[in-house]
Chains A and B, each alone.
Chain A
Amino acid sequence: MTSEAVSYQRYVAKVALAVAAVVLLVWTVFPFVWILLTSLKSPGDIISVPPTFFFTPTFDNYAALVIGEQGGQYSSTRPDFPRFFLNSMIISIGAVALSVAAGIPAAYALARFSFPLKGVLGFVLMSFRFVPFIAFVIPLYLIYQQVGLYNTHVGLILAYQLITLPFTIWMLRSFFMEVPLEIQEAAKIDGCSWLGVLGRVILPLSLPGISVTVILGFMFSWNAFNYPLMLAGRQTFPVTVGAIQFISYEQVLWGQMAAATIVAALPQLLLSLMVQKYIVRGLTMGAVK
């Protein structure tokens, strides 16, 4: 091959890579851009043919989310979006707090001690990753109806443990195991009990790991849809179930739905940039670092 042919080939390869990168970028980002635009459109602009990119932006859809007006006509069955947002906050924070409180000792035990049935316990925890939610939600629904946990924040926080607790334990375990054994041995020689080792050595040293676990756990709780769909009522719907309410009426409120999806996605967009290095590790429960 002549050197010209080689450089020509390189040039083609470069262009091909650049085109592929642009396609990937558009595929990833365009839906966000379009929904953002839709959320700023008036009903007339939304149904305009062909779709318009240039229009007078309006914040009506966002205002409607907060006060619940639908283009002038007030609907008594309007989705109460501010409440859904608050519900999501309460349930997600509660679920993560409970999981971390219960998960720290469990993760420590799994990381450091050997005890009978340890392998079984680890497997049971991992298996929650592949159990179909419907297998849990049917009995939970029946139990909750009987004991009065249906449509309560506490009931949802407990149900969310199916999502957050196994995740928290596995993540914390993988972070705890990264704390060098020598430091722990040294602390023991200095007179620390195993509780002291956990409280004074492991927890401070794995604080970054714990923060990552908390943020990811919060995000998974925020994303939850299946459990609250069946176990929550209108007073306790989180945003995920709330956003779908914009289609169940006589018409689809496209603009408000777009605004609701933006608001529901916002915490995820901000948090995922904060923990970007750890997301894959979290999603695979520590299998990939």
Chain B
Amino acid sequence: MVYPFGLGLYYSFTSYWLQYPNRFRFVWFYNYVDLIGEPLFVRALEFTLGFALVAVVVQVGLGLAVALLLHARIPGRAAIRALMLLPLMMPPVITALMWKIMMASTNAGILNYVLSFLGVDPVNWFGSTQGAVVSVLIIDTWGNLPFVALILLGGLQALPTEPYEAARVDGAGPAAILRYVTLPLLSPFIVLAVLFRAMDSLRIFDVIYATTQGGPNDATTNLQIMAYQYSFQWYQMGKGMAQAIVLLLLVVIVSYLLMRLWNRASESAT
């Protein structure tokens, strides 16, 4: 496992181009420096970070709402909880294809049909730049909302009961209890959910590949898609590998910061 990775790291410092093997040179940091002047790289970097930020906020926010809902004693709670596992364990690419069928831009697309009752004009889901970004976000959320919700639900069910009794004795309303008791106690679980979702949404590939392939107009090209295009469509292995390493560093930095936050949250919550 370490060998292929080491080899790849080495390639990122070379001008490895599969079709021109005799141009193979060790070029030091040329591939990395070259990226800075590449407009597509800047946009891919922006999209990678922006998408991860929005996806994490949306999914953790909604996930918290769903977890609180499932924690309340609603009828059919166990059934909903079991059913939520299904999107979670679907192959993401299959999820993407399911939504691709529902998001057909023609009038036969069920999603546009349902939206028409809400007075929304037919959306060009994968054909417009904004539509494509929103589509990828919706598909990713459908598959991963259950993950966040179930982590947070597990956290809610493990919370001690004493602080709640104390808060009620002090006359706190539901909103105050949520703000001053539940959220602080739940914070290690929230940070953990953010950590896993951030790691995965920075690297999202299969959903984008199956739906927009990075388009239209590179609107949904993130670093992983870009590295794929460089290495497997244009066979510039050295450059593709350099982009992969940049993405890896990005994921490592974000994960490291979130792990530190998690340690701190776990300490202060106990």
Stretch in A139-147, A175-183, A194-202 touching the partner = A139-147
> Is residue B214 within 8 Å, beta carbon to beta carbon, of the partner chain?
no
Do A143 and B4 contact each other (CB < 8 Å), given the known contacts A28-B80, A28-B83?
Answer: yes
Question: Which residues of A does B touch, CB under 8 Å?
Answer: 17-18, 20-21, 24-25, 27-29, 31-32, 34-35, 38, 46-51, 124, 127-136, 138-143, 161-162, 165, 219, 222-226, 229-230, 239-241, 243-244, 247, 254, 257-258, 260-261, 264-265, 268-269, 271-273, 276, 279-280, 283-284, 287-289
Q: A240 contacts B4, CB within 8 Å? A: no
Q: A240 contacts B91, CB within 8 Å? A: yes
Q: B244 contacts A34, CB within 8 Å? A: no
Question: Which residues of B does A touch, CB under 8 Å?
Answer: 1-2, 4-5, 7-8, 11, 18, 65-66, 69, 72, 74-76, 80, 82-94, 97-102, 104, 106-110, 113, 142, 146-147, 150-151, 154-155, 189, 192, 196, 199, 203, 205-206, 209-210, 223-224, 227-228, 231-232, 237, 240-241, 243-245, 247-248, 251-252, 255
Ranked nearest first, the 9 interchain pairs of A and B with the lowest CB-CB distance are A139-B8, A135-B244, A223-B91, A272-B89, A49-B107, A139-B4, A225-B93, A139-B7, A134-B244
Closest to A29 in B: B83
Do A223 and B92 contact each other (CB < 8 Å), given the known contacts A17-B69, A24-B80, A35-B101?
Answer: yes
Do A34 and B251 contact each other (CB < 8 Å), given the known contacts A134-B224, A134-B244, A140-B4?
Answer: no
Q: A132 contacts B91, CB within 8 Å? A: no
Q: B147 contacts A283, CB within 8 Å? A: yes
Q: A261 contacts B98, CB within 8 Å? A: yes
Q: B192 contacts A132, CB within 8 Å? A: no
Q: B151 contacts A243, CB within 8 Å? A: no
Distance between Cα atoms of A238 and B210 in the complex (Å):
15
Q: B11 contacts A24, CB within 8 Å? A: no
Q: Which residues of A contact B1 (CB under 8 A)?
A: 128, 161-162, 165
Q: A50 contacts B151, CB within 8 Å? A: no
Interface residues of A: mostly helix, strand, loop or mixed? helix
Q: Which residues of A contact B90 (CB under 8 A)?
A: 223, 265, 268
Distance between Cα atoms of A146 and B122 in the complex (Å):
50
Closest to B251 in A: A130
Do A130 and B154 contact each other (CB < 8 Å), given the known contacts A21-B80, A139-B5, A240-B93?
Answer: no
9 contacts between A and B (CB under 8 A): A34-B101, A129-B199, A130-B199, A132-B223, A134-B247, A244-B93, A244-B210, A273-B82, A276-B85
Q: B205 contacts A226, CB within 8 Å? A: yes
Q: Which residues of A contact B244 (CB under 8 A)?
A: 132, 134-135, 138
Contact of A21 among B11, B74, B89 (CB under 8 A): B74
Q: B91 contacts A280, CB within 8 Å? A: no
Q: B8 contacts A265, CB within 8 Å? A: no
Contact of A50 among B76, B98, B113 (CB under 8 A): B113
Q: B86 contacts A32, CB within 8 Å? A: yes
Contact of B245 among A20, A49, A124, A135 (CB under 8 A): A135
